[in-house]
Copies of this chain bind each other. A is one copy, B any other.
């Protein structure tokens, strides 16, 4: 299914810099695909022949570590998925899986490189994106290894509320096991800490539905361990 990038309402910041000709070129080398919640968008170890752009929805980036699968990050549209693994290597170095229903654009890598060469603004926006992602990776890794589990779990909750859903009430799109391997702890510890937060009146939980009641406390826990 071909896509029309000119009229697309979910353009990336880099695509915003393109003129009509280049957007047309992008449209011609671009396939929009829908994935249902839970399905893999691309998989570690396979060939990467396309640049992937997440048009709508949520996805998790995960990597097979030395012992177990680890979630690196949970991301929301709009953003590119796996530029490092597509451009930096021919084989995907990590996997991306939809955690809500998503719309994804697969852009032919040759066409993408063509755009990088032709239009310096486009390339610069991509560089900016890469730089910000790398900073984020470093910051996250430093937090994750230094903080104790309570702090990391508080972070995850705050991340969902502040950056992903932009609301203090939301449905967790992932299991507790997922949260565990996002912050590198066991499923059981996540459960224990979540019920602890509940008992302390910090948040309300009904199944997957979470409501943050005492955000100050949560932020304090995030800061102090």
- A residues sitting closer than 8 Å to B (CB atoms) are 63, 65-68, 70, 72, 83-85, 87-89, 93-94, 113, 116-118, 120, 123-124, 126-128, 130-135, 137-147, 151, 184, 223, 225
Question: Which residue of A66, A83, A123, A141 has the most chain B CB atoms within 10 A of its CB atom?
Answer: A141
CA distance A84 to B130 in the complex (A): 8
Q: How far is the CB of A75 from chain B (nearest CB, A)?
A: 13
B68 and A146 contact, CB distance less than 8 A: yes
A116's nearest neighbour on chain B, judged by CB, is: B124
User: Copies of this chain, how many?
Assistant: 2
A66 and B139 contact, CB distance less than 8 A: no
**What are the residues of chain B within 8 A of A118 when measuring CB–CB?**
120
A141 contact from B127, B135, B141, Cβ within 8 A: B141
**What are the residues of chain B within 8 A of A89 when measuring CB–CB?**
131-132, 135
Q: How far is the CB of A145 from chain B (nearest CB, A)?
A: 4
CA distance A89 to B138 in the complex (A): 14
**What are the residues of chain B within 8 A of A143 when measuring CB–CB?**
65-66
Write 27 A-B pairs (CB below 8 A) sorted by A numbering.
A65-B145, A65-B146, A66-B142, A66-B143, A66-B147, A66-B151, A67-B146, A67-B225, A70-B142, A83-B131, A84-B131, A84-B134, A88-B135, A93-B139, A94-B138, A116-B120, A116-B124, A116-B127, A118-B120, A120-B120, A120-B123, A123-B127, A126-B127, A133-B134, A141-B141, A141-B145, A144-B145
**What are the residues of chain B within 8 A of A144 when measuring CB–CB?**
141, 145
